[in-house]
């Protein structure tokens, strides 16, 4: 063997595997390597291709050696995974371990502590980061994402989750930089090759008679394996009847090129038959069937009963807790500028150790924190991210109301009188009746009825009396009188008409400024006295007729504003009164929630109403005669229109300051 150390190998690989040509007097090629457990590996092959193939196989196993442990003792929840991960940090620096423990406890545990490990998806990871983004600066959010990625990597190493089920798949947690207007720092999903593109690649490899590469690319595409892991794959066949478990573990140790150490509690026989099964999967199944688990310790796989491994983990966690309890405490004063110290104190207390405590100095708005140095730095980082300017939002509401009124009233009055009598030179020629008089039955004492030559006014004696509502400021009327000189025959006609058109536009624009997530209201109006009759008598109550705006805004990270709105406009209507003259209240109200971008205007409500009517007053039967019927009826037409629109415009007053503070 010493000769091989002096000769130059045909080829050397990244992890130290070497292939040597046959020496003098030999016909076989040699492969020399050091496996993941530090053991020397020697193998002989009759051909160079076979030797190189074996060398590449060993290199692949070395590249993927961190993934060799099985899943027999896998945690069931993300919280259990975090506990085991923190135990594994005992070999790392204290500051690193404390920071990882804080990030996982503050941001991952509240969301995923009892979440099933097998059901952990990228959407769950996004939920953790979204929660962190609400209060943390981008750099601290990146630390949370890095801690989750380290947790996932730890699960990969122990084969507790498959690599193809990456819970951090395309989860973006690094601050995005821009180069020439293009975002960098992560690979967008749209940039990844589609299944159709991969299929075209596989077909091209098949057409080029590259069967090995085609198979490898298909397997890598579907499983997500790295090249080293892909090379290390080698299924085996197992067929044992009542075999000692130590012999089977020894066999798997040779096949997998790993070191397996068992405790004295590992005993029993195994009956198993497997075909084309990877050795590590076979090891996982065998251990679970016997209630065993395994733990990786450096380059070793230690096999022990599952209960023993769990007790060891609990003991390690207890040891770390004792180590934390023995560390000396320090005190730090942190003054707050914007947030209230008594409201921040509970959040700071949650991240301290059991020995840590925090108090508030109300006069200076300062937190007094005592704990181990590592937790003090983390607490100060949290306070710095929470003590920022709260966005202020100006809400402007515009209520536009337009009214149009139209009234047309057309009426007619006509009648007369006739008198036949010998006294006035108009005898009837009859003994009886010698005097005849005919006159209308209604009058208004306005129109002349005594002929054209008499200045004295008398009753008009109308036969049809259907006038329009005219008078001063209400319309006009035209009266016609026809009569004889003697006044024994008179005909009176009076036409009246009125038309009213009105247009009213009312604009109300209440404004109010409030802090993010703080409800505010503004109102203006009057109190209307209303009489209430009861057994005790008449009491007066006051009803508010007012314009009010109530709003609770919330500023999102994208700069939009979510608002809960309640807008009310109540007006007294003195045209409609009760029995005691009390006015009615016209009520208009809208309640809604909406999302509007900063500075944009949105229409949140609109009401359009139109009331039309046409009324006729007429003499029965006579008013129905075509054309002539207009002499026997009155027509009244109304058309009332109203339209109400409500606009809302939110603006962030201190946008730049709130963004600089980490919003």
Distances (CA, A) of 357 to 149, 335, 347, 351, 376: 31, 16, 12, 10, 11
Identify the three-state secondary structure at position 282: helix
pLDDT at 592: 86
Q: How confident is the model at residue 232 (pLDDT cuts 50, 70, 90)?
A: low
Provide the percentage of residues in the chain whose pLDDT is more than 70.
Answer: 78
pLDDT at 158: 74
Q: How confident is the model at residue 231 (pLDDT cuts 50, 70, 90)?
A: low
Higher pLDDT, 450 or 601: 601
Tell whether the model's pLDDT for residue 656 goes beyond 70: no
User: How confident is the model over 459-464, as a mean pLDDT?
Assistant: 71
Whether the CB-CB separation of 447 and 430 falls below 8 Å is answered with no
Distances (CA, A) of 101 to 112, 225, 351, 430: 15, 30, 10, 130
Q: Cite the DSSP H helix spans in 89-169.
A: 94-103, 109-112, 122-133, 138-157
Provide the percentage of residues in the chain whose pLDDT is more than 90.
Answer: 0
State the DSSP H helix or E strand holding residue 184, giving kind and residue range, or none if neither.
Answer: strand 182-184
Digit-coded pLDDT (tens) for 173-220: 766 544 344 444 444 455 567 777 777 887 887 777 666 677 677 766
Whether the CB-CB separation of 290 and 245 falls below 8 Å is answered with yes
DSSP 116: B
Digit-coded pLDDT (tens) for 379-410: 888 888 788 778 888 988 888 877 788 788 88
Digit-coded pLDDT (tens) for 356-375: 889 999 888 899 998 887 77
pLDDT at 40: 66
Digit-coded pLDDT (tens) for 522-578: 888 787 777 777 777 777 777 777 888 888 998 887 778 888 888 887 877 776 777
Q: Point out the least confidently predicted range of 55-59, 60-64, 462-466.
A: 60-64
Tell whether the model's pLDDT for residue 353 goes beyond 50: yes
User: How confident is the model over 232-260, as a mean pLDDT?
Assistant: 78
Digit-coded pLDDT (tens) for 566-578: 888 787 777 677 7
Q: pTM here? A: 0.43
Hunting for tokens 């135990």 — which residue is that? 87
């Amino acid at each position: 063997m010493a000769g091989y150390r002096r000769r130059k190998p045909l080829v050397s690989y990244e992890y130290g595997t070497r292939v040597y040509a046959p020496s003098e007097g030999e016909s076989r090629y040699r492969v020399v390597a050091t496996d993941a457990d530090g053991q020397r590996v020697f193998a002989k092959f009759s051909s160079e291709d076979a030797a190189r193939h074996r060398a590449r196989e060993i290199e692949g196993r070395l590249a993927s050696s961190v993934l060799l442990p099985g899943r027999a003792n896998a945690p069931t929840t993300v919280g259990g995974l975090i506990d085991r991960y923190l135990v594994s940090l005992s070999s790392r620096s204290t500051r690193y371990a404390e920071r990882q423990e804080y990030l996982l406890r503050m941001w991952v545990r509240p969301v995923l502590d009892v979440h099933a490990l097998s059901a952990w998806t990228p959407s769950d990871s996004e939920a953790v980061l979204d929660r962190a983004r609400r209060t943390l600066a981008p750099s601290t959010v990146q630390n949370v994402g890095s801690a989750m990625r380290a947790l996932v990597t730890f699960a990969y190493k122990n084969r507790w989750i498959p690599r193809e089920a990456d819970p951090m798949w395309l989860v973006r947690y690094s601050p995005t930089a821009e180069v020439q207007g293009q975002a960098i720092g992560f690979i967008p999903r749209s940039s990844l090759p589609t299944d159709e593109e991969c299929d075209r690649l596989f077909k091209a490899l098949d057409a080029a008679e590259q069967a090995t590469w085609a198979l490898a690319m298909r397997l890598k595409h579907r499983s997500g394996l790295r090249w080293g892991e892909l090379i290390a794959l080698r299924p085996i066949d197992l067929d044992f009847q009542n075999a000692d478990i130590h012999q089977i573990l020894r066999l798997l140790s040779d096949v997998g090129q790993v070191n397996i150490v068992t405790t004295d509690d590992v005993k029993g026989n195994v009956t198993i038959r497997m075909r084309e099964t990877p050795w590590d999967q076979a090891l996982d199944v065998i251990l679970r069937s016997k209630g065993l688990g395994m733990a990786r310790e450096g380059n070793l796989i230690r096999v022990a009963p599952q209960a023993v491994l769990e007790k060891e983990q609990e003991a390690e966690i207890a040891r770390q807790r004792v180590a934390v309890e023995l560390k000396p405490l320090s005190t730090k004063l942190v003054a707050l500028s914007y947030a209230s110290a008594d409201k921040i104190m509970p959040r700071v207390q949650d991240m301290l150790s059991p020995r840590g405590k925090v108090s508030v100095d109300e006069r200076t708005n300062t937190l007094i924190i005592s704990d181990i140095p590592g937790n003090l730095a983390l607490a100060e980082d949290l306070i710095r991210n929470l003590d920022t300017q709260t966005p202020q939002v100006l809400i402007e509401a515009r209520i536009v109301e337009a009214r149009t009124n139209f009234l047309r009233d057309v009426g007619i009055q006509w009648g007369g009188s006739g008198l036949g009598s010998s006294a006035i030179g108009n005898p009837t020629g009859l003994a009886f009746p010698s005097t005849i008089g005919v006159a209308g039955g209604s009058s208004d004492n306005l129109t002349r009825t005594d002929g054209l030559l008499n200045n004295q006014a008398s009753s008009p004696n109308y036969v049809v009396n259907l006038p329009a509502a005219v008078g001063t400021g209400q319309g006009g009327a035209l009266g016609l009188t026809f009569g004889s000189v003697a006044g024994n025959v008179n005909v009176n006609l009076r036409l009246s008409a009125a038309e009213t058109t009105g247009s009213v536009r009312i604009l109300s624009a209440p404004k109010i400024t409030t802090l993010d997530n703080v409800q505010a209201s503004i109102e203006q109006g009057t109190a209307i006295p209303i009489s209430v009759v009861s057994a005790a008598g008449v009491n007066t109550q006051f009803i508010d007729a007012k314009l009010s705006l109530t709003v609770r805004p919330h500023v999102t990270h994208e700069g939009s504003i979510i608002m809960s709105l309640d807008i009310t406009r109540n007006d007294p209507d003195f045209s409609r009164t009760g029995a005691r003259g009390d006015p009615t209240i016209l009520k208009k109200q809208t309640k809604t929630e909406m999302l509007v971008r900063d500075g944009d205007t949105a229409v949140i409500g609109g009401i359009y109403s139109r009331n039309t009517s046409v009324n006729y007053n007429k003499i029965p039967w006579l008013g129905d005669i075509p054309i002539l019927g207009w002499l026997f009826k009155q027509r009244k037409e109304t058309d009332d229109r109203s339209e109400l629109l409500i606009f809302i415009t939110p603006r962030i007053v201190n946008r730049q300051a709130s963004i600089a503070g980490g919003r």
